[in-house]
Amino acid sequence: MAASIVCFGELLLRMSAPGNQRLMQLPELNVHVGGAEANVAVSLARFGHTARMVSCLPDNPLGEAILQDLRGQGVDTTHIQTGDGRVGLYFLETGAVQRPSRIVYDRAHSAFVSRPADAYYWRSILQGADWLHISGITPATGPNAADAALQATRTATELGVRISFDGNYREQLWKAWSGNGPEILAELLSHASLAFINELDVGLIFGESHSDRADAEAAVFARLPRLQHIASTMRHQVSADHHRLTGRLATRDGVWVSREFDMPGIVDRIGGGDAFAGGLLHMLTGTAPLQDVVEFATASAVIKHSVAGDYNRTRIQEVEDLLSRNGLDVRR
């Protein structure tokens, strides 16, 4: 059953060194469009839902390229506004062997960050939506976006639109403008019915220390009456391009844990969490058992690790094939 999901966040251009080159080793950069919420929007559009992106871009060839790319993926871009400022960038060096990947952010002063909160008319934007999805990165980018995020969630709650919130605590971004991260994130979280958080997020937001994830989940459920699902992943890192991934989904009634997926020869790790979120939101729009929900979401994240770029360029059938262990030989 197709749902209508609104995603609010910044759109970035990723500039990455080709192959396994060190950043700027060769005078050439590969470009991808990304952004935590945009990645979720793309997953949802590919899974057959109506995904509406809310953001702001400058009217220049870089902004135009982002729009084209997202529109090409089937995301509704009619609520992406045009404003003054630059396009946020990040530079990526892909790791190898025992050397981790590295990101150099260059996203300050972007059109999104400079966009005043009152430029977004949430009542009309959220009209008819089933979900509002937002990550902790959005408010961290600056006071305008933080205000806008709060207004979005408050309006969503008023309109009965369910909220999906992805923790993603980014200390450096909060520090850059002395924002009160914990307070803002706590309010956003209080509106959510679905949260992607683990014990680290809980510690950072509520200043609590939890010995394990189950404890943290219990504490958050106790604190936040609107919250129904807490989702997270566990990642074991064998080497820079060999990880193992397990998904987890908690409700007030229990916990569902996916099988562990082995991921040797990772192509691109960026966007793995967003692919998990996209898969989970997709499944929650249906009526599948929660074990199936968490398996699908995790398998969706696993496929993302084989896809270059931030987007999870996949289809439902491909995720299901992975789950049904249909074999790995060439599909003809």
To which H or E segment does residue 104 belong? strand 102-106
Using the rule CB under 8 A, is 176 a contact of a second copy? no
Q: Which stretch binds a second copy (CB under 8 A): 49-57, 112-120, 223-231, 321-329?
A: 321-329
Residue among 15, 159, 176, 234 that touches a second copy (CB under 8 A)? 15
Using the rule CB under 8 A, is 26 a contact of a second copy? yes
Return phi, psi of residue 167, to 5°. -45, -75
Task: Give the whole-angstrom CA distance, residue 258 versus residue 269.
Answer: 19
Nearer to a second copy, 61 or 254 (CB): 61
Residue among 10, 37, 69, 76 that touches a second copy (CB under 8 A)? 69
Using the rule CB under 8 A, is 73 a contact of a second copy? yes
Residue 225 burial (10 A CB sphere; 0-12, 13-18, 19+): exposed
Residues 236-275 that bind a second copy (CB under 8 A): 237-242, 261-267, 269-270
Using the rule CB under 8 A, is 199 a contact of a second copy? no
Residue among 2, 19, 252, 320 that touches a second copy (CB under 8 A)? 19
CA distance to 122, 145, 283, 298, per residue, from 6 (Å): 10, 16, 16, 22
Do residues 145 and 134 touch, judged by C-beta distance below 8 A? Answer: no
CB of 150 to a second copy, least distance (A): 24
Residues 89-148 that bind a second copy (CB under 8 A): 89, 91, 93, 95-106, 108-109
Using the rule CB under 8 A, is 192 a contact of a second copy? no
To which H or E segment does residue 14 belong? strand 12-16
Number of residues that bind a second copy (CB under 8 A): 80
Nearer to a second copy, 72 or 128 (CB): 72
Using the rule CB under 8 A, is 303 a contact of a second copy? yes
Task: Give the whole-angstrom CA distance, residue 183 versus residue 181.
Answer: 6
| DSSP bridge pairs for 230 | 195, 250
What letter represents residue 163's amino acid? I
Q: Which two tokens stand for residue 247?
A: 């998904």
Task: Give the whole-angstrom CA distance, residue 134 versus residue 38.
Answer: 10
Using the rule CB under 8 A, is 154 a contact of a second copy? no
CB of 309 to a second copy, least distance (A): 7
Nearer to a second copy, 45 or 192 (CB): 45
Task: Give the whole-angstrom CA distance, residue 104 versus residue 126.
Answer: 34
Do residues 233 and 273 touch, judged by C-beta distance below 8 A? Answer: yes
Using the rule CB under 8 A, is 76 a contact of a second copy? no
Q: Which stretch binds a second copy (CB under 8 A): 65-73, 151-159, 215-223, 289-297?
A: 65-73
